[in-house]
A and B are shown apart, each in its own frame.
Chain A
C-alpha cells in the first residue's frame, strides 16, 4: 500500500516536472524570457556600477579615512539607491510579463482542452507551471548573484549574511509575485488583461496596508496582507518566520485559487460552492498567517555581522529580567499635541512595529493607545491658532482636520481622572506598567523622535529598581532649587 503510494507520488512528481519543463521550453522559445533577462541584467549592471562609482568617488575625496560611509555593502546593495532596493521596486514590471501567458495562452489557443481531457489532475498543471516560474525566478536571482559575488569579492569585509538574506527576500518576493501572476492568468484568455490584473493585484497588496487603519480588526487584516516592507526587513538582514510565512501564504492563496478556478472551468457547480471554496482558501491562509505572527511564535534570524537588528545583549538581559510578568504599555496621545500622529489609530501598526524588537524577547508586552485632549504649552505658532478658543472648540477643530472621531477621544476631565499627565506637559507619552510600578517613556524633539534602545532600556531599568538614585542638577549664576528628582 505504502509503496504503491510512493510510486504514485513519483509519477505525479515526474508529470509535474514534465509540465514545468515544457513550460520553460515554451518560455525560452519565445523571445520574451531572453529579452527580460537581458533587460534585467542591464538594469542591475547600471545600478551596481553607478553605486560603485559613487563609492569610489567618495573614497577618493575622503582618502583613507572613508568618513562618508559606514558600510559599503549597505551603500551598493541594500541602501535606498542600492541594487536590491532598485530591483525589487521594479520587479512588478517584470513578473506580469512573464506570467501573463501561463494559463491564458492555454485558454486562448484551446490547448486547455488537451489538459482537461488528459488524465492529469488540475493541481499537477498548476504546480508544474508554478515550478517553471520558480526556476525562471532562480535565474533572475542568479543574475543578481553575479553582482553580489562581484561585490563580495571587491568589498573588504562585505556583509555576506545580509546579502544572502537580501537574496532570499528577493526570491520570496519573486515567488509571491509569480503566484499572483499565475492566478491572474487563469482568469482571462487575454494575456494583456492578465498582465494588467497582476499589476493591479500587486498594487493592491502594496497599498492595502494603508487603508482602514483606523478600524480595529480590519487594521490587523489589511496591515498583515500588505506586501510592502516585508522584503525590506530581509534587506536589512533580519529574517523572521512571520515574513517568510507571509510569502508562503501568498503563494498558497493564489495557487489554491488558481486550482479552484481551473476546476470550475470544467464543472458547473453552483456559485455558492465556488465562492465557499475561494473563501475557505483565503480564510485558512489568513488563520495560518495570524498564528504565525503571534508574538512568541515568531522566530528571528539576524544575519548582520554586528547583530544590528537585534537588541544589544545588555538590553536583552534587561528585558529578560522583567520575567513572566506582563508589561503594559499605554500610549497617551493628546489631540492638540504636535506628536498626536504617533498615537493616531491609523499609526497603531507602526507603534506595534516599533515595539517588535522588544516583543521578540518578551512576548507579553501589551500595547494600548489612549486618545485625549487637554491643554498644551502655547508655542508662538500654535498660540495664534489657539487664541480665544476653548479646549472643546480646539478639539472639535483638530478632530475634524485629523479625521478622528471625537467620541473616541477622552475629555480633559476624563483623562485627569485616569492619569495625571501634567508633569509631561500633556505631550505624547507612553506609560509603562509592570507589577505595581510604573514609569513614563517620552518621545524626543530630535530627528528620531521615538525613544532609542538606550532610553527604552533606561525606562525598563527604572521599573525594575525599587529605589532609584536621586539626580540633582546644579545650575550656575542664579542657582535654582533642586526641583527635578526622578
Chain B
C-alpha cells in the first residue's frame, strides 16, 4: 500500500488554557471516505482546522502527502480542499466569480482555471447557476457550491466539516451521494455527529471524544460495537415475564405499558426469529417488533470506559 495522504503525529491543541485535542495520531489512506465521529465539542472541528492549516497546532506534526504542514504550508495546502462547518461563501459574488476566485487562491495556473471551474460546477450540479448570486441560493445549493470550492483545484484530499448540518432530508441525501462521487478519485475526510450517516458513507471511522481518539478502525469493526441489544415489542396478548424469559437469549423484560415491552437480549440477532415463532405458538399476537439502535452517547460512554 502506498504512503497515506495524511499522517498526524501526537497532535495536541490548546485554546488559551484548556486542551481541545490531546495526543491524536492517525493516518488516512489515499482513497475512500474516512468519517470523523464525535459529539459536539469533542474536537472534530479543531482537528480538521489544523489538518487544513487554518489553525496552527500547539504540539505535534501534520504531514499532507508527506509534506510537513508547519514547515511548508504553501505546498501542503495545495493538496487540500476544505469545507468548514459554515461554507465560506462571499454572498455578494456570483457562483462563477466565487469559484474563479477560489481557484486563483489555490494558485492554479490561469489557463487551467476555466476547465476546472466548469468541471467542479458540473460535478456538484450547480452548472446552470453560474451567474446566480450566492446570496440568492438555497441552503442546499450553497452547500454544493461550498463543496465545489473544495474540489475545484482537484486536491488529493477533501476535508468536509459536518457537510450535512442544517440541510433538509432531501438535501442530505443529495449531498451524501455527492460525497460518494467525490471520493471515487481521492481521499475524503468528513465529520459528523450523526452515527447513521457515518455508517452509511464511510469505510473507516475515527471517533473522537473529549479531544482524544477513542476508536479507529474499519466500519465493520465498529458495527460490532453498536450491535443492538434491546428491542421494542408490541403484543396484543402479552404473557407473564417468566414465559418470555424462556425464549433463548432474552435477559430482561420491561413492561413499558400494558402491551408494550422492551426486551433485552444477548447473543446474535436470531432472537427476533425465535420470538416470532414463540408468539405464533403461544398466541401472543405480535403486532410490532423493532430493534433499538444504541444511542451515540451510549457508545461513546462504552468506548471511553473501555479505553480507560
A residues at B contact (CB < 8 Å): 11, 14-15, 18-19, 22, 25-26, 29-30, 109-121, 266-268
Beyond A22-B101, A119-B75, A268-B58, whether A111 also contacts B90 by CB under 8 A is yes
When the two chains form their complex, are residues B84 and A113 in contact, meaning their CB atoms are under 8 A apart?
yes
Interchain CA distance A109-B85 in the complex, whole Å: 11
- Interface pair B107/A119, CB less than 8 Å apart: yes
Which residues of chain A have C-beta atoms less than 8 A from B105's C-beta?
Answer: 15, 18-19, 114-115, 118-120
- Of the four ranges (under 10, 10 to 19, 20 to 34, 35 or more), the interface on chain B belongs to 35 or more
**By the criterion CB–CB under 8 Å, are B77 and A117 in contact?**
yes
In the complex, the 9 A-B pairs of residues with the closest C-beta atoms, listed nearest first: A267-B56, A114-B88, A116-B54, A117-B52, A119-B77, A111-B88, A117-B82, A118-B105, A110-B86
Binds A, one of B91-99, B201-209, B292-300: B91-99
**In chain B, residues 7-38, which have Cβ atoms closer than 8 Å to a Cβ of chain A?**
13-15
Please tell me if the beta carbons of A121 and B84 are within 8 angstroms of each other in the complex: no
Query: What chain B residues lie within 8 Å of A112 (beta carbons)?
Result: 88
Q: Measuring CB to CB, which residues of chain B are less than 8 angstroms from any residue of chain A?
A: 13-15, 49, 52-58, 73-78, 80, 82, 84-93, 97, 101-102, 104-107, 149
A375 to B15 CA separation, bound complex (whole angstroms): 68
Provide the residues of chain B in CB contact with A15, threshold 8 Å: 104-105, 107
Looking across the interface, which residue of chain A has its beta carbon closest to that of B106? A118
Q: How far is the CA of A473 from the CA of B97 in the complex (A)?
A: 86
CB distance A25 to B14 under 8 Å? Answer: no
Query: A110 touching B88 by the CB < 8 A rule?
Result: yes
Q: What's the nearest-Cβ distance from chain B to residue A132, in Å? A: 13
**Nearest Cβ distance between residue A9 and chain B, in whole angstroms?**
13
Closest-by-CB residue of A relative to B70 is A267
Chain B contacts for A115, CB-based, 8 A? 105
Question: Can you show 13 pairs from A to B with CB atoms below 8 A apart?
Answer: A11-B107, A26-B92, A26-B93, A109-B91, A110-B87, A110-B88, A113-B54, A113-B88, A114-B105, A117-B80, A118-B77, A119-B78, A119-B107
Residue of A nearest to B101 (CB): A22
Contacts of B85 in A (CB 8 A): 110
With CB as the reference atom, state the residue of chain A lying closest to B102. A114
Q: How far apart sit A7 and B16, CA to CA, in the bound complex (Å)?
A: 40
Contact yes or no, B56 A25, CB < 8 A: no
On chain A, the residues within 8 Å of B107 by CB distance are: 11, 15, 119-120
Query: Measured between alpha carbons, how far is A110 from B56 in the docked complex, in Å?
Result: 17
User: B58, B88, B107: which has the most chain A beta carbons within 10 Å?
Assistant: B88
Q: Give CA–CA (A290, B82) in the complex, Å.
A: 46
Set of chain A residues within 8 Å of B15, measured between Cβ atoms: 268
* Closest partner residue, chain A, to B54 (CB atom): A116
Q: Verify A18–B74 contact, CB threshold 8 A.
A: no
A8 to chain B, nearest CB (A): 10
Given the complex of chains A and B, what is the CA–CA distance between A30 and B135 in angstroms?
Answer: 12
Chain A residue at minimum C-beta to C-beta distance from B161 = A113
Q: How far is the CB of B14 from chain A (nearest CB, A)?
A: 6
Query: A135 CB to closest chain B CB, in angstroms?
Result: 17
B52 cross-chain contacts in A, Cβ below 8 A: 113, 116-117
The answer for the CA separation of A15 and B109 in the assembled complex, in Å, is: 11
Q: When the two chains form their complex, are residues B93 and A113 in contact, meaning their CB atoms are under 8 A apart?
A: no
Query: What distance in Å separates the Cβ of A217 from its nearest Cβ neighbour in chain B?
Result: 36
Q: How far is the CB of A404 from chain B (nearest CB, A)?
A: 48
Q: Which residue of B lies closest to A263 (CB)?
A: B56
| A contact residues around B97 at 8 Å (CB) | 22, 25
